[in-house]
Amino acid sequence: MLNTIKKLLKQVNLNKLQVTDEDMAALKKYREIYDKQHEKDISSIELKNLNIDFGETLAVDNVSFKIPEGKLITLLGPSGCGKTTTLNAIAGLLTPTSGKILFRGKDVTHFTPQKRKLGFVFQNYALYPHLSVYSNITFPLKNDENWKNKTFMKRIKARMDIDLLYLEDMNVPKAELEELKNSFLRWRFIKNELEYQNSVLYAKLSDDLEKAHSEYKLESVKYNAKKTLSAKKTLEEQKKAKEEYNFASKKVADDYKLAKQNNIVETSWKDASFLSDSKFNFKLDLKTDLETKKTQVKELKDLLKELRSKELKEYSYWDRKKLLKLVLKLTQDLLKLNFALENQQLSTVDKQNLALKLEAYKKAKEDFKKILDENQEYKTLKTHLKRLPLVAEKVFFDKWRELRKHLEGKNLKEFQNSWSEEKHEKLKEYSKDNVSLKKAIHNEVMEVAKRVEITKILQKKPTRLSGGQQQRVSIARAIVKKPDILLMDEPLSNLDAKLRISTRQWIRQIQQSLKITTVFVTHDQEEAMSISDIVICMDFGKVKQIGSPIELYNKPNNLFVAKFLGMPEMGLFPATFEKNKIKVNNLTLKNKFKVANKDFADLQIGVRAEDFVLHRYKKDSDFSGRIIVKENFGKESKLVVEIENVGNVNFLVSNDANYKLYDEIHFSLPVNKLHVFDSLTSERLEYEVAS
């Protein structure tokens, strides 16, 4: 009902609308801007100085990178490195503490996931168990207004293209036909282009507001984190005090029980009348000022020190229990008082900073409101955003109605008799998109089901599918809308090893055929290396290196990337560089070296497991070690070699060498394939072999 009313109102507005020369000039201007903009190589996704602070943890630390259109990039790193948090921020499931997220140059930092027009494949598939596979895939189509609008536009274009086939045979001037095509293109692009221009200008005008908001948010996170940490610490200490009391109290009860069983009667207990002393009857008051609280804290500490100095076994069992209860009560009072004191001190210092940031943020909001009210370019854009899409729509339909008059009263089938085979094929192709919404949904589901090879299981429920089949359904549901961006959060982690390999190859084929910009999250370096165009290696919330898989493998920027990438792990040798010579494990390498901007340095020399130069005899080699582990992979074996003063180093060798466990292995370092790192900074150093 609501949609019907909206359509009627829109039709009324269209009928009333008067198209002016100014409107047409504005449409032309935005089309020129659009054409120029799309000549440039705009990144599909861009992150600018992204920070996500959870208070206790800085999950994402000043991350910036660009993702080209149509590429598959992998966020790679160990658990807890921030890769999934970054993905969730791109998806809109998390709001960044500061920084920006751009899709094709448009700021989407504060957009909801629905407005970002993307597909998401979760680690646990996230399928509806009560719906069939077919219904699971149709679900996003039925609930996505953006997809419905795209389908509507495709249907209109198909009908227009079919009409154009007939109009071409009726001697209608080509200029008229071209004008119809151009008017459709204007209508199709204008709203998105205006929204994009509005977003760019808004981001530019709101720069100061964004900074003030980020600073306030960061201060707020820090303030709340301190309060949370203080509360957490107090609760842990209260729990510990209670456990200590329970343990000591149980011991007193056990001692009493044992004495009773053995008829031991002790009469020489010390007097415990001090327990009734008024000074121990401490009254906790948390509403006092800062100085009073500090005095009370000192008083409580002194009382507890006095009580804890008493030898428990010198008092009767009853008095021991009373003493323990008193210690527990005063300890809890002290913890509560300390918590209140910390919060009060926090309030006086951090709260002031928070208030200042809030005030600055409020002022920035007021200033920003004035800027929007006074900025003529912004006001013009807002007016155009309301008016020009309607203008473009009216111009198109008016032109189409005008040209359709040529088709009235004509037997269109007669025209088809003289058509070429090529023209018949075009009619057939256009007719595919000239369908109802229901038919369009069915067509999309069948197309994607065929693509992901699940046509035979469309009527099954997800609970009757294998893990691999469920993952294919999950991917089908994500790509059926043909999203601009596809996000995948460890989609293969629940599959067995063999299925994981075949599924990752299949994902790569799908991504390449659809040209969807894809962000793939994994901790498995083999997955990342095998399917990625670009790998972004992360650790502790920071980006350690960005590049193609082969770049990261052959030229790791730092020790973390060097050790994390490569199976088996790279071997590292402590070394020193001085006077153009590298000394490794007390042996100076024969060659002379030039190490970038260094005369002297402590180094870590890295060697990939497959790059060692092996020798049959010790006299020909520079180093030796003992094989302590051998893993046979068929064609080759992984050896773990124990090297004196170095430790365990991985080797990958051909099984033709026939090494056995505990054999001695002789080798030299490959001087042209070394990875040189500064021991102090862990950063890569470029080198040359001088001779």
533 and 597 assigned to the same domain: no
* Alpha carbon distance 59, 80 (integer Å): 8
Q: Within a 13 Å sphere around the CA of 479, how many CA atoms are in the beta-carbon half?
A: 24
Q: How high is the mean pLDDT of the chain?
A: 86
CATH of the domain at 584: 2.40.50.100
DSSP 334: H
Q: Kindly tell me if the per-residue pLDDT of 1 is higher than 60.
A: no
Q: Per the domain annotation, does 68 fall within a domain?
A: yes
What is the per-residue pLDDT for 557?
A: 93
* Alpha carbon distance 250, 26 (integer Å): 86
What is the per-residue pLDDT for 561?
A: 94
521 and 593 assigned to the same domain: no
* Alpha carbon distance 430, 162 (integer Å): 7
Residue 87: which pLDDT band, with cuts at 50, 70 and 90? very high
What is the per-residue pLDDT for 347?
A: 61
Q: Kindly tell me if the per-residue pLDDT of 37 is higher than 80.
A: no
Q: Kindly tell me if the per-residue pLDDT of 8 is higher than 70.
A: no
What is the per-residue pLDDT for 550?
A: 93
Q: Per the domain annotation, does 255 fall within a domain?
A: yes
What is the per-residue pLDDT for 13?
A: 67
Please compute the mean of the pLDDT values over residues 257-268 and round it to a whole number.
Answer: 77
CB contact burial 472-497 (16+ within 10 A = b; e otherwise): bbbbbbbbbbebbbbbbbbbbeebee
Please compute the mean of the pLDDT values over residues 546-561 and round it to a whole number.
Answer: 94
Q: Per the domain annotation, does 425 fall within a domain?
A: no
Lowest mean pLDDT among 102-111, 441-450, 557-566: 102-111
* Alpha carbon distance 391, 388 (integer Å): 5
248 and 320 assigned to the same domain: yes
Please compute the mean of the pLDDT values over residues 552-559 and round it to a whole number.
Answer: 94
Specify burial of residue 88 (Cβ count, 10 A radius: 0-12, 13-18, 19+). buried
Lowest mean pLDDT among 263-272, 295-304, 554-563, 594-603: 263-272
What are the Cα distances from residue 605, in Å, to 571, 610, 643? 8, 15, 14
What is the per-residue pLDDT for 456?
A: 92
* Alpha carbon distance 664, 473 (integer Å): 53
Among 566, 600, 617, residue at a domain's last position: 566
Contact 625, 666 (CB under 8 A): no
To the nearest whole percent, how much of the chain has pLDDT over 90? 31
What is the per-residue pLDDT for 20?
A: 84
Q: Kindly tell me if the per-residue pLDDT of 461 is higher than 90.
A: yes
pTM given for the model: 0.74
562 and 617 assigned to the same domain: no
* Alpha carbon distance 531, 393 (integer Å): 43
CATH of the domain at 519: 3.40.50.300
- Asked if the bond preceding 549 is cis, omega within 30° of 0, the reply is no
What is the per-residue pLDDT for 559?
A: 94
* 137-146, 370-379, 531-540, range with greatest mean pLDDT: 531-540
Please compute the mean of the pLDDT values over residues 250-269 and round it to a whole number.
Answer: 80
What is the per-residue pLDDT for 649?
A: 94
What is the per-residue pLDDT for 626?
A: 94
Q: Per the domain annotation, does 152 fall within a domain?
A: no
Residue 353: which pLDDT band, with cuts at 50, 70 and 90? confident
What is the per-residue pLDDT for 691?
A: 65
What is the per-residue pLDDT for 267?
A: 67
Residue 38: which pLDDT band, with cuts at 50, 70 and 90? low
333 and 231 assigned to the same domain: yes
Q: Per the domain annotation, does 381 fall within a domain?
A: no
618 and 558 assigned to the same domain: no
Higher pLDDT, 54 or 45: 45
CB atoms closer than 10 angstroms to residue 343: 17
* Alpha carbon distance 253, 203 (integer Å): 70
Please compute the mean of the pLDDT values over residues 153-166 and round it to a whole number.
Answer: 92
The strand pairing partners of 558, in sequence order, are: 683
What is the per-residue pLDDT for 259?
A: 81
What is the per-residue pLDDT for 631?
A: 92
Q: Kindly tell me if the per-residue pLDDT of 66 is higher than 60.
A: yes
Residue 112: which pLDDT band, with cuts at 50, 70 and 90? confident
591 and 668 assigned to the same domain: yes
558 and 622 assigned to the same domain: no
Please compute the mean of the pLDDT values over residues 536-544 and round it to a whole number.
Answer: 93
Q: Kindly tell me if the per-residue pLDDT of 644 is higher than 70.
A: yes
592 and 677 assigned to the same domain: yes
Q: Kindly tell me if the per-residue pLDDT of 16 is higher than 80.
A: no
Q: What is the pLDDT of residues 392-437, one digit of tens each?
A: 999 999 999 999 998 888 888 888 888 889 989 999 999 999 999 9
Contact 602, 680 (CB under 8 A): yes
DSSP 168: G
Please compute the mean of the pLDDT values over residues 63-78 and round it to a whole number.
Answer: 92
Please compute the mean of the pLDDT values over residues 639-652 and round it to a whole number.
Answer: 93
Q: Per the domain annotation, does 429 fall within a domain?
A: no
Among 566, 597, 629, residue at a domain's last position: 566
572 and 556 assigned to the same domain: no
553 and 647 assigned to the same domain: no
Q: Per the domain annotation, does 36 fall within a domain?
A: no
Count structural domains, the chain: 3
Q: Kindly tell me if the per-residue pLDDT of 357 is higher than 90.
A: no
Q: Per the domain annotation, does 376 fall within a domain?
A: no
Q: Which domain holds residue 312?
A: 227-348
240 and 325 assigned to the same domain: yes
Residue 5: which pLDDT band, with cuts at 50, 70 and 90? low
Q: What is the pLDDT of residues 588-629, one digit of tens each?
A: 898 888 888 888 989 999 999 999 999 989 989 999 999 999
Q: Kindly tell me if the per-residue pLDDT of 375 is higher than 80.
A: yes
CB atoms closer than 10 angstroms to residue 122: 14
Residue with tokens 């009767």: 316
Q: Within a 13 Å sphere around the CA of 50, how many CA atoms are in the beta-carbon half?
A: 32
Lowest mean pLDDT among 29-38, 159-168, 413-422: 29-38
Residue with tokens 């002031």: 352
Among 549, 566, 583, residue at a domain's last position: 566
Q: What is the pLDDT of residues 306-333, one digit of tens each?
A: 888 888 888 888 888 888 888 888 888 8
> What single letter denotes the amino acid at residue 544?
K
